[in-house]
Amino acid sequence: NNYINDKVVLVTGGGGSIGSELCLQLLRFQPKQLIVFDNCEDHVYQIDRQIKQRFPEFSGLRSVVGDVACDDDLRSVFQTVAIDVVFHAAAYKHVPLMEYNINALMKNSIRGTRLVLEHSKSVKVDRFILISTDKAVNPTNSMGASKRFCELLTLAYAREYGVNFSAVRFGNVLGSRGSVVPLFEKQILEGGPVTVTHPEVTRFLMTRAEACQLVLQA
């Protein structure tokens, strides 16, 4: 409550499954303004409607369709209001697909994170929290490697400029876009096979609400 109440908060990827849940939880602490920033028009529209329905008294909502990898889009947000807290949740989700779309992955993940960090530093935000992934641990795919790069970038900014920048890693989140669970359900309904990584694999999952509580605690 101390770092959200009456503050201006920006959530990149705010229309995504994690970002939208994060926005809803943040509103419980009555920020002065909430900026929902996402590159998908429909995602922004859906969370905009949801917030207005659930928090009709809140007048500080600003919904922005923009790209974290576009400097102009970010500048139009950072230079119009004094942002206090940034949650950087913008990210791609589908690991195998992005192996074949490396340029888009690197642009969104690495360039996007660097630009958000740079703008956050330039306006001296109080806190910056990067939403990372357990795939960043000894990465075995491009998405994990790109997120590890983003972690190192965030920590480098924190050390170099003495700012409160941090990263939090997620595991598997039930109900998030990119989750493997809907795929497994569809495969089971179709009679299989279920394409698990290994017959003896065990998956541990948390809910979106639990995941976002962890982010706020971070």
Please pick, among 7, 32, 124, 135, the residue that the annotation labels catalytic: 135
**Cβ atoms 218, 88 nearer than 8 A:** no
Please report where in the chains the tokens 């940034």 appear, as a residue.
Answer: 86
DSSP 105-126: HHIIIIIHHHHHHHHHHHTT-S
Please report where in the chains the tokens 């959200």 appear, as a residue.
Answer: 4
Q: Residue 104's CB: how many other CB atoms inside 10 A?
A: 13
Whether residue 121 lies in the annotated active site: no
C-alpha dihedral sign at 212, 213, 216, 217 = negative
Q: Which residues are catalytic?
A: 135
